[in-house]
Structure 1
Amino acid sequence: MWEDPAMRPHRIVVLGVGTVVGFDLAIPPQIFAGATGPDGPLYEVQVCSIDGGPLATTRGFSVLPEGGVEAAGAPDTVIVPGVDADTFAGNPEVSAYLRGLPAGTRIMSICTGAFVLAAAGLLDGRPATTHWAHADQFRAMFPEVRLQPDVLFVDDGDVLSSAGVAAGIDLCLHVLRTDHGSEVANQAARRNVVPPWRDGGQSQFIERPVPDPGITGTAPTREWLLHRLAEPLTLEEIAHHAGMSVRTFTRRFREETGTSPLDWLLGQRIEHARHLLEFTDLPVDEVAVQAGLSTATSLRKHLRARLGTGPAAYRRAFRGR
């Protein structure tokens, strides 16, 4: 069917190792397999073990994968879901497979899957993250890795890692957005009824993701802000809308989102700017104004800090797709 290799779907191998976290194993097929473009599916996802044998999970059930990695062929991306970190002691066969992947193959881990990548030496000297509860164990086992235990995911180019469990969804949506733009990623998020975007730098440590009963949360104000991204709002004005003091609002906002109000607002503005760059012909100056970033210089600075590219290059990349 796909005679032209450039037209075939991007091939993803989800490699279960040892005793696997079942939730993590299911995330990539759920997010990627339903993504489609004008010519059909954008991804081909295969769940594998190293030898094709069944996989035990950490929650008392087993999974029979589609086969082994040899039968899967040459992948474009390999994703390693979480493992039982308390029993994982490395797997030479898996390490050899990962180290032997061709240059340019994207390698990702979800949750404690980072232990597998680190055991293969793929994270030495590189930034990475894993589930916060296993951070101390990870540091002790892999001191050469630049562990960032307080973020949702780390994108280091060809090697990416995510924090625990649901952060794997954030990482997969990030990759989907990087590959094919916001519209495809947002469609996948809507299909799976999950938030379309959380910044990788958002903290894992959210003290109260659901407000206490009887306490007015900050969600109505967040919704209000989304309709006013272009306005030069101050923290005092935002807190006033919520009917709170700046100190109380900032504390509750961080408890509910894991980040500060102004950092969250900046993230939403950058995401809106990305959407405008992808789907409109507005000049970069106007994109900056409509996104609340004031000037093209400011937009350029923030895009480079978050994505490593400027607005013109970003627009060319996604228009090319």
Structure 2
Amino acid sequence: MECSSVLYSNDAMRRQVSPGTGTVKRIGIVLFGGFALPETAAVVEVFQSVKLLTEGERRDAVRYDVSLLSVTGGRIVSSSSVFVWTEGIDVRRDQERFHALFIAGGAGVNDALRDERLIAWLRRMHPRADLVFPIGEGQLLLDGAGFRLAPTIRRHAVYIDEIMRLGVGNGDGSSAAVASPLQTAIALVEEDFGSEIARQVADWVAPSADTRFTAIVRKNASVGVSENVKASAKWLEANAHRPISIDDAAQIACMSERNFLRRFKIEMGVTPSDYLLYVRLDMSCRLLVETTLPVDKVARHCGIGCGGRLAKLFRKHLATTPTEYRVSKRS
């Protein structure tokens, strides 16, 4: 069974993070066959969350145009067998500049190093980007293009000091001089939107506080979960805001729907439908605490539909209402 579904696409990204007004800043993320999905997805999620957290603000504010790029364009497979749709590196031509250019890492980096078109493009584009930053083994591609100095974070970003102290993106609590890709993306947001939005983005992408559903959602990273089931769980998380079918998730796992339902329940401890519900409730809890969005909008953003349905789910699973939950967590 061929895996034909995708986690992200450029068209979907532009609908989410690049309205047609205000100052537009291009964010490029360079991918290749066998790139590491989790680290790359975290960077993408930073810029996705900005749109959500700044909805309804001034129409002349900064907007991010995020492009997933590869040498040939089209469908690129990650190291976890999830397909991502990309734009060819030459589509927009070299005269355009990037506000930031992230270079993915992963198991396929050695093959990417042998791609002369990619290395030549990096050499041309590096001077035309305000910031170029590797994701893991992406530094090897920059080395191959002749840029051997590891980039450091822009130190005039105030909130990044706190991010690095907490170890967001590093996982070790260190305050190293070289930030992670996630820290760097958050620092860019701070420069454009201020420390409060940066804090909310950091809490959203790497939350410091758990909800009742967090442990269930995070189980997709457990050692005992197979790569195919992990990939389907991540796909459910990434697409929870829209109507989706379990058959779509089964395709991500490269299984029949019947086998997928059985394997997912065994490995994750819940059915795919319940997992999707818990992802949406976890997202709702975070939005209620970290934003001022009305309950109806929270429900729509989390794929739940309307405030009435969200209230019903909260009463069933949390024995409270969304408004009461928001007040209790902020007090």
What TM-score, normalized to structure 1?
Answer: 0.43
What TM-score, normalized to structure 2?
Answer: 0.42
Greater Rg by CA: 1
Q: Which has the higher helix share?
A: 2
Higher relative contact order (CA 8 A, sep 6+): 2
